[in-house]
Structure 1
Amino acid sequence: MEKPKKVVLAYSGGLDTSVIIRWLIDNYGCEVIAFSADVGQQEDMEEVRKKALATGASKVHIYDLKEEFLRDYCFKALKAQALYEGKYPLGTALNRPIISKYLVEVAEKEGADAVAHGATGKGNDQVRFEVSVMALNPDIKCLAPVREWEFKSREEEIEYAQKHGIPVPVTKDKPYSIDLNIWSISIECGILEDPWEEPPEDAYLI
Structure 2
Amino acid sequence: MAKDIKKVVLSYSGGLDTSIILKWLRETYQCEIVTFTADLGQGEELEPARQKAEMLGIKDIRIVDVREEFVRDYVFPMFRANAVYEGVYLLGTSIARPLIAKHLVDIAEEVGADAIAHGATGKGNDQVRFELTAYALNPSIRVIAPWREWDLQSRTKLIEYAEKNQIPVPRDKRGEAPFSVDANLLHTSSEGKVLEDPGQPAPDYVYQRTTDPEQAPDQPEIVIIGFEKGDAVSINGETLSPAELLTKLNELGGRHGVGRLDLVENRFVGMKSRGIYETPGGTILLVAHRGIESITLDRGAAHLKDEIMPRYAELIYNGFWYSPEREMLQALIDKSQEFVSGEVTIKLYKGSANLVARTSPYSLYSEDLVTFEEGSGTYDHHDAEGFIKLSGLRLKTWAARNKRAGR
TM > 0.5 fold call:
yes
Alignment of 1:50 with 2:51, yes or no, is yes
Do the aligned partners of residues 29 and 197 (structure 1) sit closer, same or farther apart at CA in structure 2, a change above 3 Å counting?
A: farther
Q: Deviations over 1:60-82 (max 9, x none)?
A: 11111100100111112222222
Letter in 2 for 1:24: L
What's the C-alpha RMSD, in Å, of the aligned pairs? 2.0
Gap change, CA 1:165 and 1:104, over 3 Å in 2? same
* 1:111 is aligned to 2:116: no
Query: What percent of counterpart residues are identical?
Result: 53
**Could you say which residue in structure 2 is the equivalent of 1:7?**
8
Q: Give the match for residue 257 of structure 2.
A: none
Q: Deviations over 1:7-30 (max 9, x none)?
A: 110111233212100111111111
Question: Mean alpha-carbon deviation: is it higher for 179-188 or for 122-131?
Answer: 122-131
> More deviation in 149-158 or 166-175?
166-175
CA contact (8 A) 2:155 2:176 kept: no
Q: Does structure 2 retain, via aligned residues, the 8 Å contact 1:114–1:140?
A: yes
Which stretch has the larger CA shift, 178-187 or 55-64? 55-64
Give the letter for the 2:194 counterpart: I
TM-score, scaled relative to structure 2: 0.47
Q: 1:25 to 1:201 in 2, by over 3 A?
A: farther
For 1:31 and 1:112, locate their aligned partners in 2 and report how far apart those are by CA, in whole Å: 9
CA contact (8 A) 1:178 1:188 kept: yes
Specify the SS of the correspondent of 2:94. helix
Structure 2, gaps ≥5 residues long:
210-407
Contact 2:84-2:90 at 8 Å conserved across structures: yes
Residue aligning to 1:83: 84
Distance of 1:195 and 1:16 partners within structure 2: 26
Give the equivalent residue in structure 2 for 1:63.
Answer: 64
Mapped pair 1:179 → 2:179: no
CA deviation after TM superposition for structure 1 residue 131, in Å: 1.2
Match of 2:153 in 1: 152
Deviation at 1:40, TM superposition (A): 0.6
TM-score normalised to structure 1 length: 0.90
Which sits farther off after the overlay, 58-67 or 173-182?
173-182
Which of 188, 193, 197 is the aligned partner of 1:194? 197
Matched AA of 2:153: K
CA distance 1:132–1:201, shift in 2 (3 Å)? same
The 1:134/1:174 distance shift into structure 2, 3 A limit, reads: same
- Shift in CA distance, 59/53, structure 1 to aligned 2, threshold 3 Å: same
Instruction: Write the mapping of 1:18-33 to structure 2, written as runs, cut at 5 A.
Output: 18-33=19-34
Amino acid at match of 1:183: L
Which ranges in structure 1 are unaligned for 5 or more consecutive residues? Answer: none
Q: What's the offset of the Cα at 1:2?
A: 4.0
User: Which residue is 1:130 aligned to?
Assistant: 131
**d(CA) in 1 for partners of 2:178 and 2:30?**
29
**Distance in structure 2 (CA, Å) of the matches to 1:23 and 1:38:** 24
**Structure 1 contact 11–34 (Cα < 8 Å) conserved:** yes
Residue equivalent to 1:73: 74
My pick for the range that moved more, 120-129 or 143-152, is 120-129
d(CA) in 2 for partners of 1:113 and 1:23? 17
The secondary structure found in structure 1 opposite 2:73 is helix
Q: Contact between 2:2 and 2:28, CA under 8 Å: does it hold in 1?
A: no
Aligned length: 206
Distance in 2, matches of 1:55 and 1:147, equals 23
> Once structures 1 and 2 are overlaid, which stretch shifts more, 124-133 or 184-193?
184-193
1:145, distance to aligned residue in structure 2 (A): 0.6
**Looking at both structures, which has the greater relative contact order when contacts are Cα pairs under 8 Å and sequence separation is at least 6?**
1
Q: What is the one-letter code of the residue matched to 1:131? A: L
C-alpha displacement at 1:51, in angstroms? 1.4
The structure whose Rg is larger is 2
